[in-house]
Amino acid sequence: MHIIFRLGGLNPFKQAEKHVFPYLKDHRCKIWAGASLVFLNCNPKDLQALCSAPHLLEKGKQYQIYESWLCQGIFTSRVEKWTKGRKMLMPAFSYGMLKQFVDVFNRQTQVLLSRLRIMASTGESVDFFKYSSSFTLDTICETAMGVSVGAQSVQKSEYFEAVKAILQIYDRRLRNPIYHLHFIYKLSPLCRREGQIIKKLHRFSERIIKERREQLNKEQANQIISSAATEDIDGRRNLTFIDILLNAKTEEGQPLLDKEIREEVDTIIVAGFDLTATTLKFFIFEMCKHPEIQELCREEIWQVCGKDPKEPITIEQVRQLEYVDMCLKETLRLYPSGCVVSRRATANFHLNDLYIPANSEVVFSPLYMGRCADFFPEPLKFMPSRWSPDAEHKIQASTYIPFLTGVRSCIGQRYAMIKMKLVIAHCLKNFQFSPVDDWDAEKELAFVITLKTLTPFYYILPSFGNFLSECKRHTIAFWMGLHLVILTDEPEFVESVMTSNDMLNRAICISKPGRDIFQGGLLVCEAEAWHAQRKSINAAFQHKVLLTFFPIFNRIASSAEEQLAQLVDKGPQTLSQMLKSTIISGSLETTMGLKPNNTKMEQEAKTYISSLEFMQHKLPFLALLTFLNLYGLSYFYEKFQVAKKFLWQFTEDIMLSQLNQTFVPNIQVSDVGNAAKPSSDDEFMAIRKPPEIFIKQALELYKQQKLSWQNVVSNANGLIVASYETSSTAVLSTLIMLAMHPSVQDRLYEEVCQVFERTSEDVEFAHLEQLPYLDMVVNETLRLIPPIPVLGRQAINDAKLSNGLILPSGLQVIISIYHIHRRKDIWGPDAGKFDPNNFLPEHDRKRHLYSFMPFSKGPRNCIGWRYAMFSLKIIVARFIRKYRFSTKYCFEDIKFSTNSALCFLEEPPLEISFR
Distance CA 530, CA 390 (A): 77
Is 903 flagged in the annotation as binding? no
H or E stretch covering 557: helix 550-565
Paired residues of 480 in beta bridges: 483
Using DSSP's 3-state secondary structure scheme, residue 376 falls into coil
DSSP code for 910: B
Spatial separation of the C-alpha atoms in residues 93 and 405, rounded to whole Å: 17
- Reference 145, options 271, 246, 274; nearest CA is 246
Q: Region of 303 please: left (phi>0), alpha (psi -120 to 50) or beta.
A: alpha
CB contact at 8 A, 421 and 328: yes
Dist. CA 474–CA 483, nearest whole Å: 20
Element (H, E) at 478: strand 475-480
Contact 678, 667 (CB under 8 A): yes
Pairing mode of beta strands 2-6, 432-435: parallel
Quick check: 285 and 7 in contact, CB under 8 A? yes
At a CB cut-off of 8 Å and minimum separation 6, what does 113 contact? 309, 426, 427, 430
Q: Which residues of 802-817 are buried (b: 16+ CB within 10 A; e: fewer)?
A: eeeeebeeebbbbbbb
Give the CB-side neighbour count of residue 621, counting CA atoms within 13 A.
23
Angle between helices 709-740 and 527-537 (to 10 degrees): 80
Q: Is the CA virtual torsion 276, 282, 285, 290 positive or negative?
A: negative
Q: Which residues contact 296 (CB under 8 A, 6 or more apart)?
A: 323
SS3 at position 749: helix
- The Cα 342–Cα 24 span in angstroms is 16
Quick check: 105 and 419 in contact, CB under 8 A? yes
Cβ neighbours for 114, distance < 8 A, ≥ 6 positions apart: none
Give the closest residue to 723 by CA, choosing from 530, 552, 910, 895: 552
- CA distances in angstroms from 735 to 15, 231, 574, 838, 855, listed in the order given: 59, 74, 11, 18, 20
- Pick the closest to residue 318 from 471, 75, 102 (CA basis): 102
- Who's near 480: CB < 8 A, 6+ residues apart? 34, 509, 627
Query: DSSP 3-state assignment of 156?
Result: coil
In sequence order, the 6+-apart residues with CB closer than 8 A to the CB of 214 are none
**Are 128 and 4 in contact, with CB atoms under 8 Å apart?**
no
Contact 318, 418 (CB under 8 A): yes
Contact (CB, 8 A) for 176 and 185: no
* One-letter identity of residue 412: G
**Is 217:243 a contact under the CB 8 Å cutoff?**
no
Query: How deeply is 199 buried, as exposed, middle or buried, from its count of CB atoms within 10 A (0-12, 13-18, 19+)?
Result: exposed
**DSSP tag of 76:** T
Please report, in range form, the residues annotated as the binding site for heme: 862
* Sequence ranges of the binding site: 862
